[in-house]
Structure 1
């Protein structure tokens, strides 16, 4: 592990941030394809797919809020890198955070607007801030769908940067989040 891009004890993110990063990543990597598959499953299991997709998405929302709080109260590892590279990394990370909030919020509101309350994992019905609102349901669904594709593109950029740093540069960037 080459520590050229990091200094002293500032080599890794705080443990809570590392855990939240990976838990959210796994949840998104499960939730995203579930949402995509809903349009292709038979009607007798479609509601089950919706239940799991929506419940996982709502969990992502709350974990992201916790992650934002943890990030605001934690010191980030110091990194020495060209200004443009730092700017690109900050932009992609910032947009990931934005879309990891926009996507579940728009999905939750779209579900409500279509007239279906969120029944979180079949355990608790979550209060709907808007109730049934067919006039905005399509717009919220479109925001949710576009957010999903934008999030996928951001994930691809993020993953490409990980591969670049780990395989090409052979620096310790990946180890900051492990």
Structure 2
């Protein structure tokens, strides 16, 4: 396939979609490692790691909801690619959206079910829809943990596609979201 040259803003995502994309990417790249590190930090700072991890995760949830709204109310640039490639791209993007919602919800509910209210950045307590519910806490924690690994795999696929398009194909796919 030949390289497609962009001719202006009609070949890019709307500005608000691009901003939200990179905001979410940054938040996830900060939140994911924090969550992974919680098991390895000293007890005296563990709660601080939880506070930041959970607060960022809750922020991701709300920014993702805004992003979905922005994406639904704007048009996407056309993708010039074979049908299978388009289908895989849509599947991976759809799954990224799903897991960027499932992961923070399951984490928030797991925190609640374990009996810990979310203290959002230490500013205020977020209302708990389920309260302390030990019988489902570990299920919610498992969903959250598996979602994190699935999200990492999806991110790796997404990043591999970016590299493929930018380095191998040398097309303008990356510039649609920049």
Contact kept, 8 Å, 1:6 with 1:78, in 2: the verdict is no
Partner of 2:93: 93
Partner of 2:72: 72
CA offsets 1:94-140 (integer angstroms, 9 cap, x no match): 00000000000000000000000000000010000000000000000
Change (3 A) 1:24 1:8: closer
Contact kept, 8 Å, 1:114 with 1:133, in 2: the verdict is yes
TM-score (norm 1): 0.97
TM-score (norm 2): 0.97
- Distance in 1 between residues matched to 2:6 and 2:91, nearest whole Å: 20
What root-mean-square deviation, in Å, do the aligned CA atoms of Structure 1 and Structure 2 show?
1.3
Partner of 1:174: 174
Change (3 A) 1:131 1:115: same
Contact kept, 8 Å, 2:3 with 2:170, in 1: the verdict is no
Partner of 1:162: 162
Look up the SS of the partner of 2:4 in the other structure: coil
Q: Structure 1 residue 8: deviation in Å?
A: 6.4
- Distance in 1 between residues matched to 2:62 and 2:107, nearest whole Å: 14
**Equivalenced residues, count:** 177
Stretches of 4+ aligned residues off by more than 6 angstroms: none
Q: Structure 1 residue 4: deviation in Å?
A: 1.7
Change (3 A) 1:81 1:5: farther
- Distance in 2 between residues matched to 1:149 and 1:109, nearest whole Å: 18
Change (3 A) 1:119 1:5: same
Q: Which consecutive unaligned segments of at least 5 residues does structure 1 have?
A: none
- Distance in 1 between residues matched to 2:77 and 2:127, nearest whole Å: 39
Partner of 1:146: 146
- Distance in 1 between residues matched to 2:166 and 2:61, nearest whole Å: 29
